[in-house]
């Protein structure tokens, strides 16, 4: 038989106030007295744990009242939801704790739960006014990264950000494992990937195409000008620089690259899934620009290409800023002929290189992150054309 849950445990579903708020409440009670009585049931505090602790701190004798209803959990939820400004994450965390709890002694008359011995995850989500998916996400975070749960419960971390952090940790473990595998990889004449700084790196020979995806945040804007400057050394005559970028600073990026290279075209890379929220601009975007430049005075001598590319799905498996293999392969197939050479000075986890090899090209890449370079080598060594 399922063990009955004490009423006190219902109240403990809800987090206590932070210490500074408890101290402020104690000061207020010391001056104004306890304005709302503490609710008891079976001699235990059902509602008012914060007030009870504050009364003790203020040396004030608390007032009590007895709960006489038949739905203690609904009572506790109603009191806390109306009295406190809980975040969606906090409510989801409470629902996650509530799910699978034994039904209390006075649920016999409940229309929703009278035939159950436990509170289902769906019922818990409904009670706390959150989606069952959010509750499932909290449970997954608790399983995979329990250290993040207190941050959700305190309201300092959203469920979405916690889920992303769990995914990042998983990627970091996978990257470290790949890096170990790549440590002793033999040389391959199809590709060369090195740890290097684009400001000083010298290539053994120029490349037909530079295809890259630099970081988008504002602090990295100067890298676009460095890319344009170095492309004068790295690019073969008649070749192209193909650089993805974000929209927020597009005008500045165009100006920076235009100082050294000649503008050729702008392509459109469609991003699948939910639109990316650019809150600073109040825009939800579903695409990103692809800027195409050549050497000043050069004439492009390659194939005729289309200017819209699409990925079949988002993919951050290998790197948090990475593009999908399908998207990069679509771009290469439209612009680059098999047998040409491709260089990526921001190779990250190597998606451009994987696409280049699959398309029958040779590839060179650099990155400052040694782990990323090792991961790239492991991925390229595994490409079977």
152 plus 224 within the same structural domain? no
Residue 135 domain-assigned (yes or no): yes
198 plus 242 within the same structural domain? yes
pLDDT value at 321 more than 60: no
* Total domains present in the chain: 2
Which pLDDT value is given to residue 11? 58
* Residue 228 or residue 73, greater confidence: 228
Q: What percent of the chain has pLDDT over 70?
A: 85
160 plus 199 within the same structural domain? no
Cα–Cα distance, 60 to 51 (Å, whole number): 10
Which of 136, 167, 198 terminates a domain? The answer is 167
Tens-place pLDDT, residues 161-212: 999 999 888 877 876 766 566 555 566 788 999 999 999 999 989 999 999 9
Q: What percent of the chain has pLDDT over 90?
A: 46
Which pLDDT value is given to residue 309? 93
235 plus 375 within the same structural domain? yes
Which pLDDT value is given to residue 107? 44
Which pLDDT value is given to residue 316? 52
Residue 144 domain-assigned (yes or no): yes
Which pLDDT value is given to residue 167? 86
pLDDT value at 257 more than 70: yes
Q: How confident is the model at residue 385 (pLDDT cuts 50, 70, 90)?
A: low
Structural domain of 39? 7-167
Point out the least confidently predicted range of 50-64, 104-118, 128-142, 290-304.
Answer: 104-118
For residue 376, give the nearest of 359, 341, 352, 343 by alpha carbon: 352
Residue 107 domain-assigned (yes or no): yes
Which pLDDT value is given to residue 381? 87
226 plus 138 within the same structural domain? no
Instruction: Please tell me whether the overall predicted TM-score, pTM, comes out greater than 0.75 for this model.
Output: no
pLDDT value at 101 more than 80: no
238 plus 343 within the same structural domain? yes
Question: Cα dist. 255→89, 230, 252, 278 in Å?
Answer: 42, 16, 5, 22
CA angle (132 as vertex; 130, 136 as ends), nearest 5: 115
Which pLDDT value is given to residue 106? 45
What is the rounded average pLDDT of the residues 228-256? 95
Q: How confident is the model at residue 1 (pLDDT cuts 50, 70, 90)?
A: very low
pLDDT value at 116 more than 60: no
146 plus 195 within the same structural domain? no
Residue 182 domain-assigned (yes or no): no
Residue 262 domain-assigned (yes or no): yes
Residue 177 domain-assigned (yes or no): no
Q: What is the mean pLDDT of the chain?
A: 84
Contacts of 117 (CB under 8 A, 6+ apart): 2, 102, 103
Tens-place pLDDT, residues 26-41: 999 999 999 889 888 8
pLDDT value at 313 more than 70: no
């Amino acid at each position: 038989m399922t063990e009955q849950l004490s009423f006190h445990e219902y109240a403990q579903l809800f987090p206590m106030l932070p210490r500074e708020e408890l101290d402020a409440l104690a000061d207020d009670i010391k001056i104004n007295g306890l304005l709302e009585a503490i609710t008891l049931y079976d001699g235990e505090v059902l509602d008012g744990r914060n007030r009870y602790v504050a009364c003790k701190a203020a040396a004030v004798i608390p007032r009590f009242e007895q709960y006489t209803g038949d739905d203690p959990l609904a009572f506790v939820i109603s009191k806390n939801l109306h009295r406190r400004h809980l975040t969606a994450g906090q409510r989801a965390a409470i629902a996650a704790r509530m799910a699978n709890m034994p039904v209390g002694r006075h649920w016999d008359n409940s229309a929703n739960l009278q035939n159950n011995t436990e509170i289902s995850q769906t019922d818990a989500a409904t009670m706390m006014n959150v989606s069952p998916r959010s509750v499932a996400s909290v449970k997954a975070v608790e399983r995979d990264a329990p250290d993040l749960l207190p941050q959700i419960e305190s309201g300092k971390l959203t469920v979405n950000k916690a889920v992303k952090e769990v995914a990042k940790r998983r990627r970091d473990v996978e990257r470290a494992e790949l890096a170990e595998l790549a440590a002793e990889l033999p040389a391959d004449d199809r590709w060369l990937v090195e740890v290097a700084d684009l400001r000083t790196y010298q290539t053994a020979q120029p490349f037909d195409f530079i295809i890259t995806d630099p970081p988008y945040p504002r602090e990295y804007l100067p890298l676009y000008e460095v890319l344009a400057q170095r492309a004068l050394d790295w690019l073969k005559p008649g070749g192209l620089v193909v650089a993805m970028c974000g929209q927020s600073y597009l005008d500045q990026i165009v100006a920076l690259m235009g100082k050294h290279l000649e503008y050729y075209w702008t392509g459109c890379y469609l991003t699948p899934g939910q639109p990316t929220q650019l809150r600073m601009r109040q825009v939800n975007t579903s695409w990103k620009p692809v800027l195409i430049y050549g050497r000043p005075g050069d004439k492009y001598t390659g194939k005729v290409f289309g200017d819209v590319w699409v990925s079949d799905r988002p993919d951050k498996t290998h790197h948090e800023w990475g593009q999908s293999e399908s998207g990069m392969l679509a771009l290469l197939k439209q612009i680059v002929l098999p047998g040409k050479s491709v260089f990526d000075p921001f190779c990250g986890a190597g998606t451009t290189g994987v696409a280049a090899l699959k398309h029958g090209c040779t590839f060179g890449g650099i990155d400052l992150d040694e782990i990323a370079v090792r991961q790239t080598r492991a991925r390229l060594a595994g490409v079977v054309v």
